[in-house]
Amino acid sequence: MNFEEKELKKSPVAELFEAFLLLETNDEVERFMRDICTPQEISALAERWRVCRLLAQGDLSYREINQKTGASLATITRIARFLRTEAHQGYAAMLKKMKLGSKKN
């Protein structure tokens, strides 16, 4: 299989992830996100990230996070589950990279 055939067989998700890897500046990320996402989708992603950060701090209950962010308890619970488990570790890895880990550590 030649290079072009391999490229054509990539999944759209893999191609999207590769595009993210090529972004180098905050401006590039912002412009790409504004083109690829609706304002509501960006807001939902930002809300999830805020919930993640609040959960990692460990100071607030799920209800307090709900009141502070407006995120549903289902969303908060799902994010908490991803922080607790070995699932993908995406949130945990990004918190670590940004030095935003738990105050309980």
pLDDT, tens digit, for every residue of 2-49? 666 666 567 898 899 999 999 999 999 999 999 999 999 999 999 999
Question: Which tens digit of pLDDT belongs to each residue from 72-105?
Answer: 999 999 999 999 887 788 999 999 999 876 554 4
Q: For position 32, what pLDDT does the model report?
A: 98
Could you tell me the CA-to-CA distances from 75 to 29, 81, 104 in Å, in that order? 24, 10, 22
Residue 35 is predicted with a pLDDT of 98
- Please report, for residues 1, 13, 40, 84, the alpha-carbon distance to residue 37 in angstroms, rounded to integers and kept in the order given: 34, 15, 8, 28
Q: pTM here?
A: 0.80
